[in-house]
A and B are shown apart, each in its own frame.
Chain A
């Protein structure tokens, strides 16, 4: 049975943004969208989470925090970048303090477009992430059977300030 599809637990972190996308992420929990129908729970704890939802771009201060949260999550895990800032840096891309999108720091699996991203597209992004989560689970199982060590996921190259 594909259990990760039925019970994805989410942790939500805001790298640095205008909070527009954060409000839309929280709107997904309200009676209008009610993501708990799909078994989705917003845990505040990386150690309980399967999906990391990040809104906003990454800067010097948020980079170590994002890295720590990602490393604390047990496998299998996926990262969803919500909104255009998280995807590429958005309108903050050329700012002196901006490192870039979330993929400047950790590997991203799903990019959700929008400014701000609509709750429908956030839910769609999470549902796409579920397939990736199942695939990673299968890979993890195969690795455990073959007693192979986990691959080292090197962070993507940091975007140099232009």
Chain B
């Protein structure tokens, strides 16, 4: 990719990612409603919600909280642009982690106990999901010899053949990242909450809209990461993404929320087995079977 292509890809991501993720969220709500025997909202409902939130009054509990929210949005977009312009995978993952930390700081800036509990739970979710993201980066490096997304994308054989464990682990933490049950500790899109709205409790109107927007960018970025596993076969990749997202909705509608201890234990155990196991086997194969 030359420079013009990269700039174009960056702008396309900034412009199209919210549209794509918004439609996906609308579809998500319709499918969820059908699973519960309801009709559900219109497809464009997430956009109505977002634009309405931008029209609401700005209530400021604390100005620094809103500054941190802008950091959350900005670094999520930076991570996405780095990814979709074929940049460095490590920078993408670290920018995404920094964005999550900004979000947590924003929630801690308000005095509300609900907001604080939500922020603490968000930290637990970050602890549960971050090791797997790093292992995916390591896996891509061992399989392709590069952290550059351009080089990983240009592989002639699909990476799912050598990194099936990584793919499973990434699907597992996708449930955490998409805020789906049973891992929706810090906040969820459902009405059933035991801590009001968790990490988003103190953010109203336009600031809640910023959180939603950042979440949409993050969703597209993570789906892009899953796409990389099937890069040479685009049709199969899109089919796989649809199946994975459907499974996420199914899990969301058939599971109760877990204790945070269980989330941490289950995520670390599962991702250690499939992620580290995959890494070790790949290492032996690359060395020609000799330890």
Chain A residues engaging chain B, CB cutoff 8 angstroms:
1, 3-4, 6-7, 9, 29, 31, 34, 36-39, 41-45, 47-48, 50, 74-76, 137, 140
Among B36, B37, B55, B208, point to the contact of A48 (Cβ < 8 A).
B208
B131 proximal to A (CB < 8 A)? no
Among A4, A29, A38, A39, point to the contact of B191 (Cβ < 8 A).
A29
Q: Is there contact, CB below 8 Å, between B204 and A48?
A: yes
B259 proximal to A (CB < 8 A)? no
Query: In the complex, which residues of chain B have a beta carbon less than 8 angstroms from the beta carbon of A9?
Result: 49
Interface SS, B side: loop
14 more contacts with CB within 8 A, not counting A6-B48, A34-B39, A37-B40, are A3-B55, A4-B52, A6-B45, A7-B48, A7-B52, A29-B191, A31-B37, A31-B38, A36-B40, A39-B48, A41-B49, A44-B196, A50-B52, A75-B57
Q: Is there contact, CB below 8 Å, between B55 and A137?
A: yes
CA distance A9 to B197 in the complex (A): 13
CA distance A31 to B37 in the complex (A): 6
In chain B, what residue has the closest Cβ to A141?
B55
B201 proximal to A (CB < 8 A)? yes
Q: Is there contact, CB below 8 Å, between A74 and B51?
A: no
CA distance A48 to B187 in the complex (A): 13
B3-23 CB contacts (< 8 Å) to partner A? none
Query: In the complex, which residues of chain B have a beta carbon less than 8 angstroms from the beta carbon of A6?
Result: 42, 45, 48, 52
Q: Is there contact, CB below 8 Å, between A39 and B40?
A: no
The residue among A3, A31, A75, A76 with the most chain B CB atoms within 10 A of its own CB is: A3
Query: In the complex, which residues of chain A have a beta carbon less than 8 angstroms from the beta carbon of B63?
Result: none
**6 A-B pairs closest in CB distance:** A47-B204, A74-B57, A75-B57, A31-B37, A6-B48, A3-B52
Q: Is there contact, CB below 8 Å, between B197 and A43?
A: yes
Q: Is there contact, CB below 8 Å, between A74 and B196?
A: no
CA distance A50 to B51 in the complex (A): 14
Q: Is there contact, CB below 8 Å, between B202 and A47?
A: yes
| Known A-B contacts A3-B51, A7-B45; A43 and B204 likewise in contact (beta carbons under 8 Å) | no
| Known A-B contacts A34-B38, A45-B197, A47-B202; A74 and B59 likewise in contact (beta carbons under 8 Å) | yes
| Known A-B contacts A6-B52, A42-B191, A47-B59; A74 and B37 likewise in contact (beta carbons under 8 Å) | no
| Known A-B contacts A39-B41, A42-B191, A74-B204; A31 and B36 likewise in contact (beta carbons under 8 Å) | yes
Query: In the complex, which residues of chain A have a beta carbon less than 8 angstroms from the beta carbon of B40?
Result: 34, 36-37
Query: In the complex, which residues of chain B have a beta carbon less than 8 angstroms from the beta carbon of A47?
Result: 59, 201-204
For residue B150, give the distance in angstroms from its CB to the closest CB of chain A. 40
Query: In the complex, which residues of chain B have a beta carbon less than 8 angstroms from the beta carbon of A3?
Result: 48, 51-52, 55
B33 proximal to A (CB < 8 A)? yes
CA distance A7 to B33 in the complex (A): 17
